[in-house]
Amino acid sequence: MWMVTGGAGYIGSHIVRALLDDGQQVVVVDDLSTGLMSRVPTPAHLEVFSILDTKQLVTVMRQLKVTGVVHLAAKKAAGESVDEPVYYHYENTGGMISLLRAMEAAEVKRLVYSSSAAVYGEPVDDNPLTESSPTEPTNPYGSSKLIGEMMVRDAAPAIGLNWAALRYFNVAGCGADDLADTSAANLIPMVLRAHAAGKAPQIFGTDYPTPDGTCIRDYIHVVDLAEAHVAACRLVSGDLAAAGPAAEALAAAGDGSGRIEAVLNIGTGRGSSVREVIDSVGRAMGEPLVAEESPRRIGDPSIVQADPALAAEVLGWRSRKVLDDMTGSAVSGMGWLKENGYL
């Protein structure tokens, strides 16, 4: 039985479905502060409470015989984290402390942690970014994710934990219309909202040292991301035969205990500029979109792009979907977003 914290959210709901498709049993723990009950499919069991409730976590883990956790539950808006840093550390850092205490008490030994490319901060020379690139977060959200990785690494030897931290890059698209991204902060939803309101999409900065002058980011389809989680669950479960060629060496490394630990970038290795994303949305909508150009925003790096080679070696996983797949599925989900008041 896998516990998915935050499994009623945008990314979590895709992971829950991917695990169910893989034949796993799933329990979702979500406080529904941003998640939706409708996104938890019937085969999965839903428990509604905050992961800060350590005692309830232990109870659920024991009663349902949970053997592993996929931990996504967290606050994730970088800008908001700058305004409310204490709140972000209370929820994200405190949430990880609560989860690890519960896992220790319930003797749950497998963890897949939802980390973020935000741990890298603003890249200077490293592009594409590897897992050994400097980690210098520029906001409390990124700091909370990096602290989470540190806590897991510190706790793992003491509690015998197999773990993997997946550093997501820019997640986009959807696997079904009713799983569309409801976020107001991500680029593709921002373009869709502008179009629905009869406004031009915004480009912040057209003088970056990139081919078309706009920022470049590595976009990963949420379905590909969900499949990476399934592969990571197999890895930390010791199913090395189903993992990549580097999995055996990974298990033999470290402290000699045979425990598995991995930090992996989850991206495509291909960057897309803001202008390319807007053009792709226009193709999906069947009409060109004319963007409004505005000055740069403070702190936006020119290029943030993943080197996903290690994930391929360790997990036997590679992204399959391209930018047009992401924007096409996002546009397809516009009807559901409008019906439910998100557009």
For residue 252, pLDDT over 60 is answered with no
The answer to whether residue 141 is catalytic is yes
Tokens of 97: 């402390």
Q: pLDDT band at residue 214, thresholds of 50, 70 and 90? A: very high
Tokens of 156: 């793992």
Name the residue with higher pLDDT: 220 or 304: 220
User: pTM for the full model?
Assistant: 0.94
CB proximity list for 198: less than 8 A, separation 6 or greater: none
Please confirm whether the linkage preceding 201 is cis (ω < 30° from 0): no
DSSP 45-61: EEE-S-TT-HHHHHHHH
Q: Which of 141, 208, 219, 342 is catalytic?
A: 141
Q: Which domains does the chain have, with CATH numbers?
A: 2-171+219-266 (3.40.50.720), 174-217+269-313+320-339 (3.90.25.10)
Closest CA to 149 of 200, 112, 201: 112
SS3 of the chain: helix, strand, coil, percent, to 5: 45, 15, 40
Q: Compute the chain's Rg from CA coordinates.
A: 20
Tell me the three state secondary structure of residue 43. coil
Neighbour-count burial for 85-115, b at 16+ CB within 10 Å, e otherwise: eeebbebbbbbbbbbbbbbbebebbbbbbbb
Instruction: Say what percent of the chain tops pLDDT 70.
Output: 96
Please, which residues bridge with residue 47 across strands?
Answer: 29
pLDDT at 54: 98
For residue 9, pLDDT over 80 is answered with yes
Within 92-175, residue ranges assigned H as helices are 94-106, 140-159
pLDDT at 254: 55
Write the DSSP symbol of residue 338: H
Edge-to-edge order in the sheet of strand 2-5: 45-47, 26-29, 2-5, 68-71, 110-116, 162-168, 261-266
Write the DSSP symbol of residue 166: E
Tell me the three state secondary structure of residue 140. helix
Q: Are 160 and 260 in contact (CB under 8 A)?
A: no
pLDDT tens-place string over residues 46-92:
999 999 999 999 999 999 999 999 999 999 887 788 889 999 999 99
Measured distance between the N- and C-terminal CA atoms of the chain, rounded to whole angstroms:
36
Tokens of 2: 């896998």
Alpha carbon distance 242, 232 (integer Å): 10
